Amino acid sequence: MSNLKRRLPWIRIIGSVRTKLLLIFLVVAILPLGTLGYFSYHKSSKVVNSQFGSYGMYAVEQLKLHFDANLKQMDQITGNILAYMIASSILIGDEAPTTYAQYVEERDFQNYLSSLENTNIFKVAVITPSGRVLGNSSVNEESLGNSSFWSSAFAYDKRHVVIHIPDYYSTPDDNYTISLVVPLKTRFGFPGGSWLLIDMKADTILNLIRSFEKDTQSHLQIRDAAGEILLQTSSDYMNQEDDIVWSRSLDTEDWTIEARIPHAKFYESSTVILRYSVFIAILAVILGVVMASFFSFRFTMPIMKLSQSMRRFGEGNLLIRTPVMSSDELGYLSESFNKMTGQIQELVHEISRTEKLKSDAELKALHYQINPHLLFNTLNSIQWKAKLARQPEIHKMLQHLIVVLDGSFNFKQTLVPLHKELEIARHFIEIQRFRYEDTFTFELQVQPGLEDCLIPRMVFQPLLENIFFHGFRDGHGHIHMRIFAANSELYMELEDDGIGVKPEHMEFISSGMKIPGKQGGLGLRNVDERFKLHYGDAYGLKFESNRNIGTKVTLTWPITRELHLQSKY
């Protein structure tokens, strides 16, 4: 049997724990998941479709109630007008009034008609058989007589309601209007053959219809008893036999409000539910299979051993190693942990060795420096001697020199505020003035608010010194120094109009190399290297120079203000 397994690898795969767990999961998980998904889909889709259908019927019912309310309001206005005519006992003639009493009665009647108008009922008028319009001056009598709407109104001898776009107003209006036309009898004080016209705005109805169509993606129509379409927002909709139809009949008119929604749109929510149900079921099966595969190769003992080793390593025992108990993923993880601890141990030794080398280098550098204490005491003694000897220039020059040397020998701080570094630069400039007098000019511009930003110490003095010793001839020239911030970085631009750098030397200076056969350049390289050590290779010095025109040095470093971020280098 063991030989057969070695010859047929797939038998070993089927007999593995991982495969067994997968098969058990597929049998145990897929069946209930499939059953649950099936019943969940049918139940939820049934509820969603029922709620959607109820919402559609409710919305159509609200539209129907709104229509009935508007039409009842128009009927109420009609009743109020007739009651007014009966109560006042006035007579309206077919022709213009000929007496003042008739004029007053007609004027009062027109004022009453105007009082019935509101935001919805915007036109109430009485039209006599001769075409006279009483009650609203905006109705054009000639346009009304020529209107197809008014011509069709005479075909009815009873109350009639029409939804249309009126064409008989003095000011053209393209909005739909609901018009109520009522024939008036002589006993009400009107000439025989008079008509009452009430126009109501249909904007609110149309907005409700458009909102309903947008929410349900349906098409709504208002039909009369003969099936003719009285109102619809679009005419390009094609009715289908399987459309879902919501309809309600008005109480005040023999009209029907009908909303049609395509079958696919109505059951779109059910399709989405089905899609998500299948997706979640597949995702759950995949997740279960992955978890079964993952835990099938995990054993308690290797995990505990590895956890203990990691905890002891975190406590500082860098020599700890975890035993490799298998050749699977846990074994590979144990090997990786052991490899990582070895690399960290080597890295710690390397850091310790590097720190020792740096300390040794700093000690060696100190051996080559003049004792600062002795130097400062000597300079102070010379300063006092110059003051006693009434040599103010020597006294001031030594004052500036002491400040510059103090900044140079201050090894305790590697990063200093910008205002201190600028102070050292100013003192250095003053020293050069004693040497060159007024043969050069120095201009300094510093953007406000940057004075407390940090910068490596003694970086401006070597750059300024390089100008006097290599850029100027006998100190003649102009120096412009500008410091500003942009994009969370600080920039220092130092320009001079000296002799510049030879083109063949620019490559050496830009790469930080010493120019063959030339002295100097150590200060510039030192400044550039210190910035790169503190902030990275993206920062440091950049040179631009034109022979006999001048040189521009740009220094870039990030904005820092907290002293605890100072580097040790």
- Bridge-based pairing of strands 489-496 and 194-201 is unpaired
Q: Identify any residues that bridge with 540 across adjacent strands, giving them in sequence order.
A: 556
pLDDT at 555 over 90: yes
Domain boundaries, the chain: 21-286, 300-367, 415-565
pLDDT in tens, 391-418: 666 656 666 666 666 655 555 567 889 9
Per-residue model confidence (pLDDT) at position 444: 92
Judge contact between 205 and 226, C-beta under 8 A: no
Taking each helix axis as running N to C, give the angle between helix 329-367 and helix 300-314, from 0 to 180 degrees, rounded to the nearest 10: 10
Cβ pair 461, 419 in contact under 8 A: no
- Return the number of other C-beta atoms located less than 10 Å from residue 228's C-beta: 8
Buried b (16+ CB within 10 A) or exposed e, 346-374: eeeeeeeeeeeeeeeeeeeeeeeeeeeee
Please give the pLDDT value at position 563. Answer: 52
Q: What CATH number belongs to 415-565?
A: 3.30.565.10
Structural contact between residues 472 and 464, judged by C-beta atoms closer than 8 angstroms: no
Long-range contacts of 262-271, Cβ-Cβ distance < 8 Å, separation of 24 or more: 262/217, 265/217, 265/218, 266/49, 266/52, 266/53, 267/45, 267/49, 269/45, 269/48, 269/49, 269/52, 270/41, 270/45, 270/48, 270/49
Residue 330's nearest CA partner among 357, 361, 305 is 305
Higher per-residue confidence, 271 vs 208: 208
Residue with tokens 């130097």: 375
Share of the chain above pLDDT 90, in %: 7
pLDDT in tens, 31-90: 776 677 677 767 777 777 777 778 778 888 888 888 888 888 888 888 888 888 877 777
- Please tell me the predicted confidence (pLDDT) of residue 491: 94
Strands (E), 457-526: 477-486, 489-496
Percentage above 70 pLDDT, the chain: 74
Spatial CA neighbour of 489 closest among 517, 450, 532, 533 = 450
CATH, range 21-286: 3.30.450.20
- Structure tokens of 291? 């978890």
* Rounded distance between C-alpha atoms, residue 131 and residue 142, angstroms: 8
Q: How far is CA 427 from CA 352, 371, 397, 432, in A?
A: 39, 22, 9, 9
Task: Report how far residue 172's alpha carbon sits from residue 150's, in angstroms, rounded to the nearest whole number.
Answer: 16
CA angle 225, 229, 233 (to 5 degrees): 145
Q: State how far the alpha carbon of 252 is from the alpha carbons of 62, 159, 282, in Å.
A: 15, 11, 56
Cα separation, 216 vs 535, in Å, equals: 61
Beta bridge partners of 47: none
Radius of gyration of the chain (CA): 49
Using pLDDT thresholds of 50, 70 and 90, give the confidence band for residue 454.
very high
* Residue whose entry in the numeric block shows the structure tokens 């008005």: 250
**The pLDDT value given to residue 483:** 94
Does position 143 have pLDDT exceeding 80, yes or no? yes
CATH architecture label of 300-367: Orthogonal Bundle (1.10)
Nearest Cα neighbor of 435 from 393, 470, 407 is 393
List beta partners, residue 134. Answer: 126
Q: Report the distance separating Cα 358 and Cα 58, nearest Å.
A: 84
Residue 365 is predicted with a pLDDT of 46
Do residues 432 and 440 touch, judged by C-beta distance below 8 A?
yes
- Look at phi and psi of residue 259 and say left if phi exceeds 0, alpha if psi is from -120 to 50, else beta: beta
Residue 228 Rama label (left phi>0; alpha psi -120 to 50; beta): beta
> Which residues make Cβ contacts (< 8 Å) with residue 96, sequence separation at least 6?
132
